[in-house]
Amino acid sequence: MRGLLPIAVVVAALAAVPLVVQSNTTLNFLVVTLLIALAGQGWNILGGYGGQYSFGHAAFFGTGAYVTAILQVRYGVNAWLAFGAGIVIGAAVGGIIGALTFRARLRGSYFALVSLAFAEVLRIVASVAPITGAGVGTLVKLDLRVEALQFQSRAAFFWVVLALVAISLLVAQRLERSRFGTWLIAVRENEDAAKALGVNATQVKLCAMMISAAITAAAGCFYTQYFLFVDSGIAFGTRMSIEALLTPIIGGAGTVFGPLLGALVVQAVGEGAKLVAGDAPGLSLIVYGCILILVIAFAPRGLIGLVETSRRRVARPAKREAAHG
Amino acid sequence: MSDRSLPFTRRKFLASSTLCAAASIAMPSILRAQEAGVKLGILHPVSGALSYSGTQGRLGATLAIEEINAAGGIKGLGKIDPMLGDALSTPEGGTAEVEKMNSAGVAAIIGGYASAVCLAVSQAAARYDLPYVVDVGVADAIVTRGLKNTFRFGPGFGVIAKTALDNLAEINNHAGKPAKTVMIVHEDSLFGSGLAKLLNTQLPQHGFEILETIPHPTPTRDFNNVVLKIKAQNPDLVIPANYYNEYVLLARTMQQQRVKPKGIYSVLGGAASSYKFVKEFPDAAKYIMDCNHWFDPGSPKALALKKKIEDKGQFYTYEVYMNYSCVMLVADALARAGAADRAKLTAALESSTFSGHVMPYGPTKFVNGQNQGAAPVNTQVLDNDIKVVLPANFAQAKPVFPIPA
Amino acid sequence: MFSPVILITAILNGLLTGAVYALVALGLTLIYGVLHIINFAHGALLSAALFAAFFAFHLLGLDPYLAALLLAPIFFGLGYAIQRLIISPASHGDDRNMLLVTLGLSVVIENALLYAFRADTRTIDLPYAFQTIDLGFTFLPIPRLIGFCVVFAVALVLWAIMRRTDVGKAIRAVAKEKLGAQLAGIEVSHVYAVTFGLGTACVAIAACLLIPTFYVNPSVGEAFVLIAFTIVVLGGMGSVPGALVGGLVIGVVESLSGLFLGESLGQIGIFLIFIAVLLVRPTGLFGARA
């Protein structure tokens, strides 16, 4: 996907949605979907483009969420500043974890597991540390004013998270076309070969990790502002880590729109499963799990991969004709 | 959740536009058939970590609705049409359900169960001035945020801790003050930590010495080390505050290690006043005291409900009768409001003096959303049954303390 | 700070608990060592096995230790079928997709258990569940001691299978060099399925060992998964003795850090060890040097 045009079109189309759709149920659904898409966009930078599959992205999500909450509640910091601080500190945490793991040259499954471990450590600490409210969690005061980054209308929240997603789309797009992106993809494809060609793999991965962490942290900050409550399970639990990796992979890892598409599909499937299965406990999740397996079985390179494969299949006969003609 | 009257019109939409499923969800409110009666949202964490409690809560609520409908529905308004929602044991799940219920035009929402879910649900409902009655969630923050739509029928932490300690002091004094030292074992999320904090400030005021406060995660796989510490420090009293599974593990491990303090006094103990626990582990359960939600043992309605539940093969747990009572409360308020109108219903709840519930609270009286009469009671497992021992006007037996050797 | 008696008891507790962790990890490490996938469905399978053990007791009257003999082959078959019929075809051999498929499976299995059996916690009551051996300073529960011994027996059996039988040799061959093994005529997909089956059988036995002193509900297995991963890494991915030693070490670490830091913060001990091992010696205690 080249150029800024596709991004502009998609963002504009999404931005128009609240003008057309009045139902708060749908708007809420879309806000949550975009939040997850944002977290996935972050993961995608490191995992999709960089090939480093992190299983603990909740570490950054939770950092963003807690920093935003704690700064407002305990130190009276303005919500917008707290939001920014959440992103910056999230990136810093990414830097620390990255420095430790990439210096130790951890790759593949080892990296996946160590990232999981870091997220767990943060979760445990957050569940006992007084500053986070320990088990009780941190509750941000309901204050529906723009200055407090809270809004009466769901549409306003929608536009805020959409803006963040738009920025992440731009970041991904810029990355794809930059030298840094080429290095990153080279590291993903074959780290040793990349190093032999002079790419500083550790530095590249570290940089990618920090960008990735910043974006996912932004999702966490937004969570705090939208739901106004955060505790250690919500912030650092495996649920968010899994959502962050699931959506890009389903949508298409290493593509600009993969996480966004993946989030829409995964959330829609979840809702669809609930409608089909009714209210028996667990049934909707069984349907959800089955659909997940089916999607992976039939679209192993994600949905965007599916589109590209079919496009190639259509193009191939034409090429053959051209070659023979 | 799924609207029972038109499930397959929705399916058609989904089939034709999988990726536009998001948009299709906006349609339901237009397509819904008009039914006479009152819609009520019944929201519980039916799947996820809290599914047992959520299912029990839903059971209590639906039984109440069945009873009301069997008697002809609400006076002047017709039958109750319940809209069942699954909060998925998360705040996001709860919020999403509130949105759906609001779109469906419910008059009120009842339930929540877990404090984190209740916090999110009350806020989401407040946007639409949708009355929300909390069934169990005990965090004080639920009713102290100035949300006009939120009502809590049961007691909050503050009241529970105070009642528990006052009663403990009374039981201890009455027995000649055999207990001085205490160890607290609590689960480390909102409910356990919040309670432990209050106990830590208030226990010394009553003259007790806290030897140690031990937090543990939910789930905890093994309590041997916790029991080791209890054994080593030998407190007179052990105060557990945790969920069912951990409570059972703790009690069984104490039994295994032959740890016998002078009393086990739980505050919101997960299994301490559970018929299931008493039935399955009678020896471990003997003499355990609990300060917890409990029904009015003298109320014929409560006992009739107990029989109904047990006939269904379920246990009569607090989620059941509290939700039952909440639905009855809302039905009464609706009858007094005279219309399924949110503002009128909110006003009717605010001025409610309802006694048709099954809890030992007296008539309801809401101040800032909190039912003033709500309080826990003390129970003790005696003769393989759970008996109320305090307060005196609901008591069925006298407390046995300290535990006979 | 703590008296030696308490420390020794804590260490003993840790060893007993660690043995069961080790058994769960054994299954996981086999699956990882050969298939190179992190099996997310492991915890859900443990929950399923616990339910199976529960029903074996209630419907067939089988003591859990006897039930293990019945359930191990059944779950072996189940694991074989899952790998051959679901995971392999759905993932087209891609490691990362296998991960997601096992994730999907874990959701399906756990919620199928929830839907079928509800979330009520169930327990079984055995006459010897509360019997203990009195060591003077502590009581050692008999079921846990039996569990400890059985784990060693299972590890021995597995080791024997790996070293002495043709199947075991085929498994080791595939683990080491898949292409070469294929060229030598070994049917890789069969070996994969056998390995998965063995891993699942281990989980079934672990469930039977756990049930006398633990409880059963659909989400119970989840609590063991992260610990199992930690042990697999600590012991060295694919190493049977590694899983055993790793399990015991983690059990003791969990116990001691729980003692010193409290049960909640104490959990951190496990993950700090995990991180330390990964940073310093990622191949684990017994893993092959990279």
Q: Going residue by residue through chain B, which has 405 residues, state the pLDDT in tens, using 9 for 90 and above.
A: 333 444 334 443 334 434 444 444 444 433 333 346 899 999 999 887 788 889 999 999 999 999 999 998 888 888 999 999 988 888 888 999 999 999 899 999 999 998 889 998 998 898 889 999 999 988 888 898 889 999 999 999 889 999 999 999 999 999 999 999 999 999 888 888 888 989 999 999 999 999 999 999 888 888 988 998 999 899 999 999 988 888 988 998 898 888 999 999 999 887 888 898 898 888 888 899 999 999 999 999 999 999 999 999 999 999 999 999 999 999 999 999 988 889 999 999 999 999 989 999 989 999 999 999 999 999 999 999 999 999 988 899 999 988 887
Complex-level ipTM = 0.84
Question: Are C138 and B49 a contacting pair at CB < 8 A?
Answer: no
Contact status of C192 with chain A (Cβ, < 8 Å):
no
Helix axes C263-280, C222-235, angle to 10 degrees: 30
Q: Which segments within A121-236 are labelled E, that is strand?
A: 138-139, 229-230
The pLDDT score that the predictor gives to residue C288 is 60
Strands B377-382 and B385-390: antiparallel
Q: What is the mean pLDDT of chain A?
A: 88
Residue B129 to residue A81: CA distance in whole angstroms:
31
Q: CA nearest C114 in B: which residue?
A: B47
- Scanning B113-156, the segments in alpha helix (DSSP H) are 115-126
The pLDDT score that the predictor gives to residue B7 is 39
What are the percentages of helix, strand and coil residues in chain B, rounded to 5? 45, 20, 40
Interface A–B counts its CB contacts (< 8 A) at 134
Strands B370-371 and B366-367: antiparallel
- Identity of the residue in A128, A227, A234 whose CB atom sits nearest the CB atom of B95: A227
Contact status of B313 with chain C (Cβ, < 8 Å):
no
Amino acid (1-letter code) at residue B115: S
- Identity of the residue in C139, C220, C263 whose CB atom sits nearest the CB atom of B258: C139
What are the percentages of helix, strand and coil residues in chain C, rounded to 5? 75, 5, 20
Residue C166 to residue C172: CA distance in whole angstroms:
10
Which chain A residues are Cβ-neighbours of C104 within 8 angstroms?
A: 289-290, 292-293, 296
- Which residues 141-180 of A are in CB contact (within 8 Å) with B? 141-142, 152
Say what the pTM is. 0.87
Question: Are B226 and C119 a contacting pair at CB < 8 A?
Answer: no
Residue B147 to residue B144: CA distance in whole angstroms:
8
Return the residue matching tokens 């207990």. B179
φ, ψ of residue B377 to 5 degrees: the values are -125, 165
SS3 category, C145: helix
Question: Are C91 and A300 a contacting pair at CB < 8 A?
Answer: yes
What are C54-83's pLDDT values in tens digits?
999 999 988 999 999 999 999 999 999 999
Neighbours of B288 (CB within 10 A): 27
Which chain B residues are Cβ-neighbours of A227 within 8 angstroms?
A: 91-92, 95, 120
Neighbours of C128 (CB within 10 A): 12
Question: Are B86 and A274 a contacting pair at CB < 8 A?
Answer: yes
Interface B–C counts its CB contacts (< 8 A) at 82
CA angle B318–B322–B328, rounded 5-degree value: 150
The pLDDT score that the predictor gives to residue A250 is 87
Residue C280, CA distances (Å) to A174, C273, C283 in order: 36, 10, 9
Question: Are C263 and B225 a contacting pair at CB < 8 A?
Answer: yes
Class of domain A4-324: mainly alpha
The most confident of A128-132, A164-168, B20-24, by mean pLDDT: A164-168
DSSP annotation string for A140-154: PPP--SGGGT--SSH
- Which residues 129-148 of A are in CB contact (within 8 Å) with C? none
Contact status of A309 with chain C (Cβ, < 8 Å):
no
Which chain B residues are Cβ-neighbours of A25 within 8 angstroms?
A: 25-26, 96, 99-100, 102-103
The pLDDT score that the predictor gives to residue A2 is 62
Q: What is the mean pLDDT of chain C?
A: 88
- Identity of the residue in A114, A116, A121 whose CB atom sits nearest the CB atom of C268: A121
User: Which of A53, A97, A110, A245 to mutate to test binding with chain C, by most C CBs within 10 Å of its CB?
Assistant: A110
SS3 category, C194: helix
Which chain B residues are Cβ-neighbours of C13 within 8 angstroms?
A: 222, 224-225, 228
* Helical (H) or strand (E) element with B81: strand B80-86
Contact status of B162 with chain C (Cβ, < 8 Å):
no
The pLDDT score that the predictor gives to residue B14 is 38
Contact status of C96 with chain A (Cβ, < 8 Å):
yes
Which chain C residues are Cβ-neighbours of A112 within 8 angstroms?
A: 38
Contact status of C290 with chain A (Cβ, < 8 Å):
no
Which chain A residues are Cβ-neighbours of B218 within 8 angstroms?
A: none
- Which residues 44-63 of A are in CB contact (within 8 Å) with B? none
- The separation between the first and the last C-alpha atoms of chain A, rounded to the nearest angstrom, is 30
- Identity of the residue in A30, A275, A281 whose CB atom sits nearest the CB atom of B10: A275
Which chain C residues are Cβ-neighbours of A104 within 8 angstroms?
A: 278-280, 282
Residue C42, CA distances (Å) to A273, C115, C202, C206 in order: 24, 19, 10, 12
Residue A177, CA distances (Å) to A4, A49, A180 in order: 11, 12, 8
Work out the widest C-alpha separation in chain B, in whole angstroms: 75
* Helical (H) or strand (E) element with A241: helix A238-251
Environment class of A124 (CB within 10 Å of its CB; exposed 0-12, middle 13-18, buried 19+): buried
> Any idea where the domains of chain C sit in the sequence?
26-220
- Scanning C61-187, the segments in alpha helix (DSSP H) are 64-81, 88-91, 95-117, 142-164, 166-176, 178-183
Question: Are A101 and C237 a contacting pair at CB < 8 A?
Answer: no
Q: Check: CB of residue B216 under 8 Å from CB of residue B188.
A: yes
> Any idea where the domains of chain A sit in the sequence?
4-324
Peptide bond into B219 cis (omega under 30): yes
The most confident of A53-67, A123-137, B135-149, B218-232, by mean pLDDT: A53-67
Question: Are A117 and C90 a contacting pair at CB < 8 A?
Answer: no
Neighbours of chain A (3+ CB pairs under 8 A): B, C
Residues recorded for chain B = 405
